Amino acid sequence: MIDSCPLVELDIGDDLGDVSAGNLHALIQEHESDVIGPLWLDEIRTAAPRVARRYSPSVYARTTAWNADAIDDLVQDVVERMMVKGQAQYICDVANDFGHARALIYRQVRMTLIDRRQRTAIDNLFDRAVERLGSPPFDQVKSRPRSWRIDGPMSDPAPASRRLTSSLAALPRLPGNGMERASAIWTTETLSDALMLICGAVGEVDEPELRRILEESLTVFATAEVVSDDAGTEIRSGELDPGNLTMANEITQRLLATLTLEEATLLAGKWIGDSDGDIARRLGVSRPTAAKYKESAFAKVRDELTEQSEAVVGYVFARLQSLVIARAGGGAR
């Protein structure tokens, strides 16, 4: 897949050095003969430390410093990315001059670092998921590889579907505010909802499948959403004091109790991004009937939240979104 990059998207803060002596024609010729040869490697080796110094090595290199070995590893990853995704050819096709080509190479270093950060976020989320699966309502079924299911009657096993991935991607996520830590992605409560959704969909999930499901779900996250600040993994209650937090949880539970299965399925579908027609087909009803479900569901939510503060509304919406998607099986029936 080619990463298109209009010139306006280039980071003008990069230290490109002296580009006057560079030769775009030589880069193009070398690419035609060697794909990525000495000239390209020199450019990548120069770009890697200049770009990497702006990123935390503990997240992007998994070392304490950007030492020579860490930079060499980054260079190899950049080369692999450019070859697999055809980025060297893209640079040859679109570069206006040597300075433009160098800026695009620097961008490839940044994109490689972003790929690494996403993998770190997946690792962190996977570790948290395995820890959460070690306690109720989950039961460990096997040990090699480890697998888990929800305690109680087991649903018929089914392969993970795109619908499951879309449902997980629609769960509320922690916002990102920096580049110093890999993101937690989900609060502890939302992670539990996600695991209920996964086990409910596939029956029994083992470690390799769990990692694959999380990886597929995380690939749809925007770059800013796989970076987190110091908020950690606890639920963000914003400005809620203990009294308002209790009230917000009570509102959430009342809404869950009053929403019908059809209304909950409809809300889940809307949060996932389904059209009214898609939701009607999933429910097995006409579009006018689905529209009535939507009106009644929205009315129930409005009645509970109209007089509440913005902080309470935000908290309830996040919890309701997570729980409805999980309990309605992602809006699929």
145 prior amide bond cis, ω within 30 = yes
What is the dihedral sign for C-alpha 176, 182, 185, 189?
Answer: negative
CA–CA dist 82, 61 (Å, integer): 19
Residue 266 CA: distances (Å) to CA of 194, 287, 331 = 18, 12, 7
Residue 299, judged by CB atoms within 10 A of its CB (0-12, 13-18, 19+), counts as exposed
CATH class of 242-331: mainly alpha
CA–CA dist 66, 47 (Å, integer): 13
Q: Tokens representing 60?
A: 């992007």
Distance of CA 272 to the CA centre of its chain: 14
Buried b (16+ CB within 10 A) or exposed e, 9-22: ebeeebebeeeeeb
Contact 266, 290 (CB under 8 A): yes
CA–CA dist 106, 51 (Å, integer): 7
| Per-residue confidence in pLDDT tens, the chain, 333 aa | 445 443 334 444 556 777 787 899 999 999 999 999 999 999 999 999 999 988 888 778 868 899 999 999 999 999 999 998 899 999 999 998 999 999 999 999 998 987 776 667 778 889 999 999 999 999 999 998 999 999 877 666 666 677 888 889 888 887 654 444 556 678 889 999 999 999 988 889 999 999 999 888 876 443 333 333 333 334 444 457 888 889 999 999 999 999 999 999 999 998 888 888 889 998 999 999 999 999 999 999 999 998 888 888 888 988 999 999 887 765 444
Domain boundaries, the chain: 7-116, 133-228, 242-331
Phi, psi for residue 118 in degrees, rounded to 5: -65, -40
Coil, strand, or helix at residue 182?
strand
Whether pTM > 0.75 for this model: the answer is no
